[in-house]
Structure 1
Amino acid sequence: MAGYLRASFLALTLALFMLPFFKSSLACPNTVTYWGQHDNAGSLKDICKTNNYEYVNIAYLKNYAGGSPTLDISYHCRDCSYIGAEIEYCQENGIKVLLSLGDPGSGTGTNASQLAQYLWNNFLGGESSDRPLGNAILDGIVFEDFNPGTVLKFDELAKELKNYSTTDKNVYLAAFPPCHEGDYNLDSVIDTGLLDYVWVKFYDDACCEYANNNAGILLNSWFRWTSRTGINLLFMGVPESEKHASSGYIPPQVLINQVLPVIKSSLKYGGVLVWHNFSSDSYTPQIKDYTCKNVENILTWLGTAI
């Protein structure tokens, strides 16, 4: 009897010790989506009200390399200052809202320091008389896979933007590269190690996507990415349906059963980006429902043991 009680005590002690670890490491997956380029996506507030996402990227800011920067979310607004209130709604509900840099245009007159100052004053924590999204302070900037065609260097821009971070407010930086490695636009900024998130486009590329009911090529590519230096958190980018990618669509049950259990073993695993996920879509809820229930079951068992 004494031996049984001693073993039970040790088991309960171990469970108590491991509970914080399970809570942090098995948390429901963080999910990312884009907003601004589709007329049937609903409002930004609609997207955030679903509670399906932890990050929403506003797409896109264009012509920022020496031209006249343009916020291209024309499906939703011309005067977009009212969206500031919707951004703040999202942030109040724990969702980070970032600005995605689209086609920079062909200008050559903007250097990294000037562009960082413009982004800070017009979208982040600075001040300007002409803030396109009102007084809302966005959480950060996303670097995209567009050919700059300019002398603008994203690695220098990342360093300039991070200089605006403070202990009270971090400027979050992310990139959305294609899954084939060696992208000359984004490699340098990834290599800085300054990016908080790298969400990789694991579709539209036969070299590194799910195909022919086989996840082998996809998973091999994932682990090549996790072995890269400079990456803090890595997200798997997938399309929500076959119509949103020319190839590489992963049915949600395949992602849940064959892919997520494998990629979650990486210490760099951050979550899933779904392109283009709308408020009426069921793809992300299926992912979160499955994984979150597994987490709840483990925590319930630990809590009962304790």
Structure 2
Amino acid sequence: MASKMESLILILLFLFTFSTTIHSSHGSSTGGIAIYWGQNNGDGYLTDTCDSNKYEIVLLSFLVQFGCDRQNKWNFAGHCGDWSPCTKLQPEIEHCQAKGIKVLLSLGGADVAEYDYGLCSPQDAKNVAKYLYDNFLSGQYGPLGSVTLNGIDFDIEKTELYWDDLARELDTFRQNKYFYLSAAPQCPNDPKNFYLEKAIQTGLFDYIFIQFYNNEECAYSTSTGTSLLLQSWHKWASLVKSNNSIFLGLPAAESAARIGYIPPEVVNSEVLPHIKETSNYGGVMLWDRYRDKEADFSGKIVANVPKSNVLLETVTSVSDTIYEYVSVALHSILSKA
């Protein structure tokens, strides 16, 4: 009798755990908006950014100098610097995190002379990974105060070397306490046209923020419409590992990019309905908070970014039904014991 009872309990607990796992996995892929913050004083406070309730991920941009024995430097435009230590951002970061918003530090930035970054060797990648972990991910005191950021973003726009090594080294630090890795490649699918090919192939990045702008071969235009963008999106969907969420990276205003601006009504009607069918769709990334604050691009699309909740609601209903069944069955078994 005891063995039958134990078997029934194990089976019922398995069913409940299975249903909960399904529910959780679908609940984490409903789609949200990521925003880059830090390259214009007009961004406003981080607290205001997070209190807008439009974003799920905020990317602090940028750590602009690192690697090859360079002095580590960051550029948050007019927000903070030598004249005002960036440790003052700690309470703002913690405010965002308390609201459930992920805050990541972005590495790199545009290919300009004042952004001097790169890696010289696998050992150099190891050194940089330790610097990033110690100063931004561990809770120890660093340039942003005693923060534990939610991850590191690779916005690399020059040199292909050793970014895969950096991803693997960072991955070793998150075995005990998980943090996120993201990458922001250009939209051309030819590996020669983006610098993160080897890094992305590691499959270690949780989020891929694909920049569908400033590249004629895969950006929206009034002459080609959305065709080139959607073709590139589907190639990326097949290229990226299934455990990575891919985001549609867009400029938040016409002034934010040389080419590739898409009116929000076109995003809502002609782009999102198609890309949300992709299994590894993650949401929309916008460059940047300053332009979005002015144009309210996010406000015009945010209602359409999430996936349909039909499946999520169905799984929730099934999970609740199994929970009720498990509770009743266990009560019956235990009352007869």
Structure 1 length normalisation: TM-score? 0.82
CA distance in 2, matches of 1:216, 1:184: 21
Amino acid at match of 2:211: K
Amino acid at match of 2:65: N
Amino acid at match of 2:220: Y
Amino acid at match of 1:154: W
* Equivalent residues in 2 for 1:1-306, closer than 5 Å: 24=26, 29-65=31-67, 66-78=69-81, 79-102=85-108, 103-105=115-117, 108=120, 111-125=124-138, 127=140, 131-148=142-159, 153-167=162-176, 169-181=177-189, 182=191, 183-212=193-222, 214-230=225-241, 232-277=244-289, 278-290=292-304, 295=309
8 Å CA contact retained: 1:161, 1:171: no
8 Å CA contact retained: 1:67, 1:107: no
In structure 2, the CA distance between the partners of 1:89 and 1:243, relative to structure 1 (3 Å rule), is same
Measure how far apart 1:229 and its partner are: 3.9
In structure 2, the CA distance between the partners of 1:191 and 1:290, relative to structure 1 (3 Å rule), is closer
CA distance in 2, matches of 1:23, 1:191: 23
Amino acid at match of 1:206: E
Measure how far apart 1:63 and its partner are: 1.5
Amino acid at match of 2:99: N
8 Å CA contact retained: 1:23, 1:299: no
Measure how far apart 1:280 and its partner are: 4.9
CA distance in 1, matches of 2:28, 2:131: 39
8 Å CA contact retained: 2:39, 2:76: yes
8 Å CA contact retained: 2:106, 2:152: yes
Consecutive unaligned residues in structure 1, runs of 5 or more: 1-16
Corresponding residue for 2:326? Answer: none
8 Å CA contact retained: 1:33, 1:273: yes
Please identify which structure carries the higher helix content.
2
Consecutive unaligned residues in structure 2, runs of 5 or more: 1-18, 109-114, 322-337
CA distance in 2, matches of 1:28, 1:288: 12
8 Å CA contact retained: 1:27, 1:295: no
8 Å CA contact retained: 1:199, 1:273: yes
8 Å CA contact retained: 2:31, 2:281: no
8 Å CA contact retained: 2:156, 2:184: yes
Identity %: 35
Task: Give CA deviations for 1:55-104 in whole Å, capped at 9, x if unaligned.
Answer: 01000002111200112113101201010111111011011000111144
Structure 2 length normalisation: TM-score? 0.75
In structure 2, the CA distance between the partners of 1:279 and 1:148, relative to structure 1 (3 Å rule), is same
Amino acid at match of 2:214: D
Measure how far apart 1:42 and its partner are: 0.2
Q: Number of residue pairs matched?
A: 279
RMSD of the TM alignment (CA)? Answer: 2.9
8 Å CA contact retained: 2:104, 2:153: yes
Measure how far apart 1:22 and its partner are: 12
CA distance in 1, matches of 2:178, 2:35: 21
Which structure has the greater CA radius of gyration? 2
CA distance in 2, matches of 1:289, 1:219: 21
Amino acid at match of 1:236: L
Amino acid at match of 2:71: S
In structure 2, the CA distance between the partners of 1:261 and 1:33, relative to structure 1 (3 Å rule), is same
8 Å CA contact retained: 2:153, 2:184: yes
Measure how far apart 1:207 and its partner are: 0.3
CA distance in 2, matches of 1:264, 1:289: 13
